[in-house]
C-alpha cells in the first residue's frame, strides 16, 4: 500500500448523488422494499394511535368511572399489539432478504467491473484496497441502506402522524412542543459535517490496514526469510494506532451527538407539562389530553433519535459508498471498440510504436517489427529493456502511445477484445492457478473442453504422467494459487491451460525460468511440438532455451540493438554473445559446484 493514494473524498459535502447510485442496486428489490415500507407505515400508525387511545380511555372511561368499557378497549389494545408483532416479524424477514440482495448485486457489479478493467488499474491499485471495497464496504452499505430505510420510513411516518394528531387535539400546545425541532435540525447539520469527515478518514485508514493484512499473508515467507517480523509489526502498529485514534475521534463526535438529542427530547416533554399543566388546573384541558401530549413527546423524539442515528450512520457509510461507486464507475483504459471477429493467421506488425507506463518514462521508442505467420521470435535483454512491454502491447493489455500494431494487416484495435484474447495463449513465469482441480484449471482456457481434450493438452506438455501419479488424478485439488503443486507442476498445468484453446498467437514470458532442468526439457520438447505453425513470442531468461528460435531480438532501453538467429548473433560476438557466454559460464560453474 506504500505510495498509493486513493481519491480524497474528505473535503466533499454529503453527496446525495452517491446514494442515488446505490439506490439503483436497491431498486432491483422494489417490490420487497414497497412491502417493507408499508409494514413500517402500519407499525408507525399503531405506535401513534396508542397514546391517543390511552388519553381517550382516561377522559371517557377512567375519569367518568365507566369501567365496564375497559374490557372492550383492552381487547382492542391487545389486537393492536398482536398486529404490531406480526408486522415486526414480517419486516425483519424482508429486511434480511433485501440486505443480502443488495450486497449481492453491488458485489456482482464490482466483480464484473474488475473483469473489465485494464492491467493499468491493477498496476496502480493495491489488492488490499480492492478487497476492502468488495467486503467490509459492501457489507456496511448493505446494512445501512436496508435498516436505514426501515428506521427512516418508521420514524418519519410516526413523527408525521403524531404531529398531525397533536395539532388536531390541541394546536396551541403542539406549537409549543415542536419548537425543539428547529434546534434539533441545526445541531444535526453541524454534527453531520463533523462525523462525515471523521468517518471518511476511518475508512481510508481501514483500506491501508486491509492492504497490510493482504501483503502480510502473501509475503509471509519472504518476511521470515528476511527476518522482518519486528519491523513489519512496528509499521502495522503505527497504522493501527492511526486507525484507533481516528475511530476514537469519530466515536466521540457520535457520543456527544446522541445525548444532545436525548436532552432535546426531555425538553420537549417538559414543555408539554409546562404548557399543558396549568390549563388542566383551570379546566381548559383534560387530563387525558395532557397524558396524550406527554406520551407523544416521549415517543415523538424516539423516532427523531432513530432518524438522527441513521443520518450519522449514512455519513459513516457514505465513505464506503463513495469508494464502492468510484471502483464500479472506473473506466478501463483499454476499451472494446472493435467489430472484427475472425480467425487470425498470425502476421504481426509493430509500426513505429512508442510506449510509456508513466508520463516521461518511455519504455519503447519508435519500435518496428514484422513477424510472419508461424514465426518464433525470442526477446532478450536486461531487466527493463522492454521485453514484457512488447508482449503486453501485442496482447493489448496496454495500447501504444504512438504508432500502430497490426494483426493480419488490420489495426488490432479493430478486433474485439474477445476475438483477440480468444486466439492468444499466454504462459507466465509465475503461473497462477485457481482453487479447484487440475482438470478445472486446464479447462479454464476452454470452458467447454471435454475430458478428452483436457487429457490431450496435458499429454502435449508431458503433464499427464505426473497428474496420473497423484491420488485423485485430474480431480486433484491444486489449493489456493496452486499451493499444493510444485513450481514445475504448476507451470506444466498452466502450459496445458494455454494450449487447450489452440491459440494462433503464443506468448511465453520466461515460462521455463522457474522450473528444474528435467521439467524444462519436458517443456522445451512440448514447445517445439505445439508452436509449430503458430506465431510465438518468447521472453527467455535461459538463453539456451531459444537457440531454435527463428529470430532473436536483443533489446536495450526500448530499442533493438541486435537481430538474427542464434548462430548469426553468436558470430557477431556482440551483446547477445556476451550475455550467452556469461550465462553459459555461470551455469557450468553451478553444475561443478553441485557435483562437488
Tens of pLDDT, residue by residue over 431-473, are 888 889 999 999 988 888 999 999 998 988 888 989 999 989 9
Confidence tier at 594 by pLDDT (50, 70, 90): very low
Average pLDDT over all residues of the chain: 81
Is residue 2 predicted with pLDDT exceeding 50?
no
Per-residue pLDDT at 320: 80
Task: Judge whether 220 and 278 are in contact, CB under 8 Å.
Answer: no
Counted residue by residue, the chain has a size of: 596
Residue 506 pairs in a beta bridge with 425, 536
Is residue 241 predicted with pLDDT exceeding 60?
yes
Task: Judge whether 519 and 491 are in contact, CB under 8 Å.
Answer: yes
Quickly count: other Cβ atoms within 10 Å of residue 156's Cβ.
Answer: 17
One of 3.40.30.120, 3.40.50.2300, 3.10.20.70, 3.40.50.300 is the CATH number of 336-423+505-514+534-596, namely 3.40.50.300
Task: Judge whether 429 and 511 are in contact, CB under 8 Å.
Answer: yes
Contacts of 474-481 spanning 24+ positions with Cβ under 8 A: 474/437, 474/438, 474/439, 474/442, 475/437, 475/438, 475/439, 476/437, 476/438, 477/435, 477/436, 477/437, 478/433, 478/434, 478/435, 478/436, 478/437, 478/438, 478/441, 479/435, 480/435, 481/432, 481/433, 481/435
Domains 336-423+505-514+534-596 and 430-502 share a fold: yes
Using CA atoms, how far residue 236 sits from 128, 202, 227, 233, 496, in Å, is: 14, 15, 16, 5, 41
Residue 542, classified by CB atoms within 10 Å of its CB into exposed (0-12), middle (13-18) or buried (19+), is middle
What is the percent of the chain with per-residue pLDDT over 90, rounded to a whole number? 19
The span from the CA of 319 to the CA of 201, in Å, is 8
Residue 425 pairs in a beta bridge with 506
Is residue 596 predicted with pLDDT exceeding 70?
no
The three-state secondary structure class of 190 is helix
Residue 380 pairs in a beta bridge with 554
Per-residue pLDDT at 586: 57
Is residue 584 predicted with pLDDT exceeding 90?
no
CATH superfamily of 430-502: P-loop containing nucleotide triphosphate hydrolases (3.40.50.300)
The span from the CA of 382 to the CA of 233, in Å, is 35
Would you kindly state where each structural domain of the chain is located, as residue ranges? 16-328, 336-423+505-514+534-596, 430-502
| Beta pairing, strands 376-381 & 535-539 | parallel
Tens of pLDDT, residue by residue over 120-171, are 788 777 777 788 788 888 988 888 889 888 988 988 898 889 888 888 888 8
Per-residue pLDDT at 173: 82
Phi then psi dihedrals of residue 282, to 5 deg? -100, 5
Confidence tier at 595 by pLDDT (50, 70, 90): very low
The span from the CA of 513 to the CA of 293, in Å, is 82
The span from the CA of 470 to the CA of 478, in Å, is 11
Fold of 16-328: ABC transporter transmembrane region fold (1.20.1560)
Per-residue pLDDT at 336: 83
Amino acid at each position: 500500500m506504500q505510495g498509493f493514494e486513493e481519491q480524497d473524498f474528505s473535503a466533499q459535502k454529503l453527496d446525495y448523488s452517491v446514494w442515488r447510485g446505490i439506490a439503483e442496486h436497491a431498486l432491483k428489490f422494489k417490490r420487497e422494499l414497497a412491502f417493507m415500507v408499508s409494514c413500517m407505515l402500519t407499525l408507525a400508525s399503531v405506535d401513534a394511535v396508542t397514546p391517543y387511545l390511552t388519553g381517550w380511555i382516561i377522559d371517557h372511561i377512567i375519569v367518568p368511572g365507566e369501567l365496564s368499557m375497559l374490557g372492550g378497549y383492552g381487547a382492542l389494545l391487545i389486537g393492536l399489539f398482536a398486529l404490531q408483532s406480526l408486522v415486526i416479524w414480517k419486516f425483519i424477514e424482508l429486511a434480511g432478504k433485501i440486505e443480502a440482495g443488495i450486497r449481492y448485486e453491488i458485489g456482482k457489479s464490482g466483480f464484473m467491473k474488475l473483469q473489465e478493467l485494464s492491467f493499468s488499474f491493477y498496476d496502480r491499485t493495491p489488492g488490499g484496497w480492492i478487497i476492502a471495497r468488495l467486503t467490509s464496504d459492501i457489507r456496511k452499505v448493505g446494512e445501512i441502506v436496508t435498516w436505514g430505510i426501515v428506521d427512516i420510513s418508521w420514524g418519519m411516518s410516526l413523527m408525521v402522524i403524531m404531529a398531525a394528531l397533536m395539532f388536531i387535539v390541541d394546536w396551541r400546545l403542539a406549537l409549543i412542543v415542536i419548537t425543539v425541532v428547529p434546534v434539533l435540525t441545526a445541531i444535526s447539520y453541524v454534527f453531520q459535517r463533523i462525523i462525515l469527515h471523521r468517518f471518511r478518514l476511518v475508512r481510508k485508514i481501514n483500506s491501508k490496514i486491509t492492504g497490510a493484512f493482504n501483503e502480510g499473508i502473501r509475503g509471509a515467507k519472504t518476511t521470515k526469510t528476511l527476518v522482518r517480523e519486528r519491523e513489519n509489526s512496528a509499521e502495522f502498529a503505527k497504522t493501527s494506532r492511526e486507525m484507533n485514534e481516528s475511530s476514537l475521534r469519530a466515536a466521540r463526535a457520535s457520543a456527544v451527538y446522541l445525548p444532545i438529542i436525548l436532552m432535546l427530547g426531555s425538553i420537549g416533554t417538559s414543555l408539554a407539562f409546562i404548557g399543558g399543566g396549568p390549563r388542566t388546573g383551570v379546566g381548559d384541558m383534560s387530563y387525558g389530553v395532557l397524558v396524550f401530549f406527554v406520551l407523544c413527546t416521549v415517543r415523538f423524539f424516539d423516532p427523531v433519535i432513530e432518524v438522527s442515528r441513521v443520518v450519522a450512520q449514512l455519513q459513516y457509510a457514505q465513505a464506503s459508498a463513495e469508494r464502492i461507486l468510484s471502483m464500479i464507475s472506473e473506466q478501463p483504459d483499454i476499451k472494446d471498440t472493435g467489430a472484427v471477429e475472425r480467425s487470425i493467421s498470425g502476421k504481426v506488425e509493430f509500426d513505429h510504436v512508442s510506449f510509456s507506463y508513466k508520463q516521461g518514462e518511455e519504455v519503447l521508442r519508435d519500435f518496428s517489427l514484422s513477424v510472419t505467420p508461424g514465426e518464433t521470435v525470442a526477446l532478450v535483454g536486461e531487466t527493463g529493456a522492454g521485453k514484457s512491454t512488447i508482449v503486453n502491447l501485442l496482447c493489448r493489455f496496454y495500447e501504444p502511445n504512438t504508432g500502430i500494431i497490426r494483426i493480419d494487416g488490420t489495426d488490432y484495435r479493430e478486433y474485439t477484445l474477445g476475438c483477440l484474447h480468444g486466439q492468444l495463449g499466454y504462459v507466465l513465469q509465475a503461473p497462477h492457478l485457481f482453487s479447484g482441480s487440475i482438470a478445472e484449471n486446464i479447462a479454464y482456457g476452454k470452458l467447454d473442453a471435454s475430458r478428452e481434450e483436457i487429457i490431450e493438452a496435458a499429454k502435449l506438455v508431458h503433464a499427464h504422467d505426473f497428474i496420473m501419479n497423484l491420488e485423485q488424478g485430474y480431480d486433484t485439488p491444486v489449493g489456493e494459487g496452486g499451493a499444493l503443486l510444485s513450481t514445475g507442476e504448476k507451470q506444466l498445468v498452466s502450459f496445458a491451460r494455454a494450449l487447450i484453446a489452440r491459440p494462433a498467437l503464443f506468448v511465453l514470458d520466461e515460462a521455463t525460468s522457474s522450473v528444474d532442468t528435467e521439467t524444462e526439457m519436458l517443456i522445451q520438447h512440448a514447445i517445439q511440438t505445439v508452436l509449430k505453425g503458430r506465431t510465438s513470442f518468447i521472453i527467455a531468461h535461459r538463453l539456451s532455451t531459444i537457440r531454435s528460435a527463428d529470430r532473436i531480438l536483443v533489446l536495450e532501453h526500448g530499442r533493438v540493438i541486435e537481430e538474427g538467429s542464434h548462430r548469426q548473433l553468436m558470430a557477431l560476438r556482440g551483446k547477445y554473445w556476451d550475455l550467452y557466454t556469461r550465462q553459459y559460464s555461470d551455469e557450468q560453474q553451478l553444475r561443478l559446484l553441485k557435483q562437488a
